[in-house]
Amino acid sequence: MKVNIVPLFVSLGLSLLLAYGFYELGHEPNRTIQTIGGGLFIFTTLAFLIGVQFENLRTTTNVRTVSTIFFLVALISHVLFALINFPLSLYVITEGILIMIYVLVVYSMSKADV
């Protein structure tokens, strides 16, 4: 696995801007946790989407495809959670399950010998 520094910082900047957008869209009691959670989730998916390369080209392609799917799912879910006032527990459970599934899938793909 090779980490590309400049694209990694670009993904950090994009995730911070999107997290600020979630903060502005969000409702007051859950704003802070949605901003932090959204920023971390978006950064994780963007880091593997544009900032990381694997030795095997197939693994890199598969990880980028899964990262794109989870990035879009995270973006849609965070916008929905920001616009509609859901309970905080629903947000934490939903986003926690999504990020754990994402990490498990990417880890499994990186360890697979293809």
**Given a cut of 70, is residue 113 above it in pLDDT?**
no
**Given a cut of 90, is residue 85 above it in pLDDT?**
no
**Given a cut of 80, is residue 93 above it in pLDDT?**
yes
- When pLDDT is cut at 50, 70 and 90, the band that residue 94 belongs to is very high
pTM as predicted: 0.87
Which among 10, 34, 19 has a CA at the least distance from the CA of 86? 34
Find residue 52's DSSP bridge partners. 3
**Given a cut of 90, is residue 75 above it in pLDDT?**
yes
Neighbours of 96 (CB within 10 A): 12
| Locus of tokens 């971390």 | 40
DSSP 8-state secondary structure symbol assigned to residue 58: H
For residues 88 and 30, the answer to whether their CB atoms sit within 8 Å is yes
- When pLDDT is cut at 50, 70 and 90, the band that residue 31 belongs to is confident
Q: CA 26, CA 7: separation in Å to the nearest integer?
A: 28
Q: How many domains does the chain have?
A: 1
Residue-number span of the structural domain to which 27 is assigned: 2-111
